[in-house]
């Protein structure tokens, strides 16, 4: 059992435990002690554009230094950029201070191991055990001569931009394409527009003025309305939406319609198959049934992992496959990145479109999504588990009887927010909505 690490690191509301300076310092110390025992000598730290990132960065820096681990600071950069730079700078570990798609008043801490891959469950459990010692007053500082030293890396963004640009084959160019990029006022606000411009595209950049509190605010991959409107207003070929830390990708075709992670994963899998890829695709419990059906029609194997890109990665490692992702836009292409990377995933989609002289609208036609309704119900973590309530279980049973073989139900706790997620998928949208609302009403009573 992990008490602090969720599906994507430690996360919470800033100023409330565990997102406090004191906790961050002790987490840095605990991670430094555990990873230091594994040979870690330097950790690279990046962050998104939240105002609280500076506070947490300083606290983490103090904790790692007290554990005798050196620190390299890269400033605001996408999560996948930190994963990449952790590898290229030969750092032994990487840390991202970000709450991804959450509002500005939340923040989080994610840790990468060597090579830019997220830590294993066992490593996180070991860090939590050491963290418990620190929280109980057992945090000890190394001798002065052994303290970790801090340095800043000034050319980190430029290195990542060049890395992304190399994903587009040298024979191709984005010249002639008009692209609207929604940066979510987040970590990709500088690097994302630069990548597409330097590859030749005409770029209209929106929500690229972060002020510390406007990250993900009615923009980005979790709020697509503005991007859809901008694509139509500018008569653009397509739109690209990042989330706050630029590890999620959503797109918009020239008609102003959203193209989600499931549809993009289908496009990438279809293109890989045509290029000779013989492996399968890993989705999650939330992946639309239409994705599974479309991949089956192409004779591409498909398996579902638990929700969270870390679990998609685990399945990819277990199967030896190279492609996976989530409908929310986390897309993993292990031939190009060690974690979900919105910019790189978008370039893979653009490569496919250019090679086939196709539009995004036409390319997605091979997959037909089933109506899927998602209802979020907030709960207090201190309360009893509502999923075990007889009234909730009865509501689920009633919904499943109504659906029969025409759909499915999934209830799960969010790994990043105090929410119960109710997902219902059905061949009929009204049926899916009715079943989801029926279950959602039973949750507060529980």
CA–CA separation, 308 and 292 (whole Å):
18
Name beta bridge partners: 250. 241
* Average predicted confidence (pLDDT) for the chain: 94
The reply, when asked if residue 92 is annotated as ligand binding, is no
How many residues are given for the chain? 446
Mean pLDDT on 413-438: 89
Strand 70-76 relative to strand 42-47, pairing: parallel
Residues 244, 184 contacting (CB under 8 angstroms): yes
What digits encode the pLDDT tens for the residues 140-191? 999 999 999 999 999 999 999 999 999 999 999 999 999 999 999 999 999 9
Mean pLDDT on 380-401: 85
Q: What angle do CA 304, 82, 15 make, to 5 degrees?
A: 90
Structural domain boundaries of the chain?
10-155, 176-253, 260-366, 372-445
What digits encode the pLDDT tens for the residues 288-340? 989 999 999 999 999 999 988 889 999 999 999 999 999 999 999 999 988 89
Helix%, strand%, coil% for the chain, nearest 5: 40, 20, 35
List the catalytic residues: 100
The reply, when asked if residue 335 is annotated as ligand binding, is no
CATH 3.40.120.10, domain 260-366, yes or no: yes
The reply, when asked if residue 260 is annotated as ligand binding, is no
- Residue holding tokens 């979790």? 222
Statement: residue 407 has pLDDT above 90? no
pTM: 0.90
The reply, when asked if residue 430 is annotated as ligand binding, is no
Q: Report residue 381's pLDDT band, with 50, 70 and 90 as the boundaries.
A: low
In terms of phi and psi (left: phi > 0; alpha: psi -120 to 50; beta: otherwise), the region of 45 is beta
Q: Report residue 6's pLDDT band, with 50, 70 and 90 as the boundaries.
A: confident
Do the domains 372-445 and 260-366 match in fold?
Answer: no
CATH class of 176-253: alpha beta
Mean pLDDT on 113-133: 89
Return the pLDDT at 119: 86
Cis bond leading into 18, ω under 30°?
yes
CATH 3.30.310.50, domain 372-445, yes or no: yes
Residues 153, 89 contacting (CB under 8 angstroms): yes
CA–CA separation, 437 and 430 (whole Å):
11
Statement: residue 383 has pLDDT above 80? no
- Domain covering 10-155 in this structure, CATH number: 3.40.120.10
Return the pLDDT at 287: 95
Mean pLDDT on 68-84: 96
């Amino acid at each position: 059992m992990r008490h602090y690490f969720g599906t994507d690191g430690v996360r919470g509301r800033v100023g409330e435990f565990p997102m406090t300076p004191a906790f961050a310092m002790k987490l840095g110390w605990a991670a430094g002690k555990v990873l230091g025992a594994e040979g870690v000598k330097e950790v690279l730290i990046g962050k998104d554009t939240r105002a609280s990132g500076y506070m947490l960065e300083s606290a983490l820096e103090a904790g790692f230094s007290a554990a005798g681990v050196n620190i390299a600071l890269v400033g605001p950069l996408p999560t996948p950029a930190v994963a990449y730079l952790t590898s290229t700078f030969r750092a032994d570990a990487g840390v991202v201070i970000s709450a991804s798609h959450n509002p500005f008043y939340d923040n989080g801490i994610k840790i990468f191991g060597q090579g830019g891959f997220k830590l294993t469950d066992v490593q996180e459990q070991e860090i939590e055990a050491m963290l418990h010692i620190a929280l109980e007053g057992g945090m000890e500082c190394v001798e002065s001569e052994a303290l970790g030293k801090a340095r800043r890396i000034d050319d980190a963004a430029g290195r990542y931009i060049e890395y992304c640009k190399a994903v587009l084959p040298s024979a191709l160019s984005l010249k002639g394409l008009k692209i609207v990029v929604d940066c979510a006022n987040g970590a990709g606000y500088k690097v994302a527009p630069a990548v597409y411009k330097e590859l030749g595209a005409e770029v209209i950049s929106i929500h690229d003025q972060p002020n510390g509190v406007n990250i993900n605010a009615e923009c980005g991959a979790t709020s697509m309305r503005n991007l859809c409107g901008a694509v139509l207003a500018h008569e653009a070929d397509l739109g690209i939406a990042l989330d706050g830390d630029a590890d999620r990708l959503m797109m918009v075709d020239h008609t102003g319609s959203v193209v989600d992670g499931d549809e993009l994963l289908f496009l990438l899998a279809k293109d890989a198959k045509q290029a000779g890829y013989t492996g399968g695709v890993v989705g999650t419990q939330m992946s639309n049934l239409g994705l599974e059906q479309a991949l089956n029609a192409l004779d591409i194997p498909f398996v579902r992992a638990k929700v969270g890109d870390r679990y998609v990665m685990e399945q990819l490692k277990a199967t030896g496959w190279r492609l996976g992702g989530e409908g929310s836009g986390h897309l993993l292409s292990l031939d190009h990145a060690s974690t979900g990377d919105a910019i790189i995933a978008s370039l893979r989609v653009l490569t496919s479109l250019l090679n086939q002289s196709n539009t995004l609208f036409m390319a997605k036609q091979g997959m037909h999504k089933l109506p899927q309704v998602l209802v979020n119900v907030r709960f207090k973590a201190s309360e009893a588990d509502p999923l075990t309530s007889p009234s909730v279980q009865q509501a689920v049973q009633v919904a499943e009887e109504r659906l029969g073989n025409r759909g499915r139900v999934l209830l799960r706790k969010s790994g990043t927010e105090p929410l119960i997620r109710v997902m219902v998928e059905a061949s009929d949208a009204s049926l899916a909505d009715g079943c989801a609302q029926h279950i959602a009403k039973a949750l507060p009573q529980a």
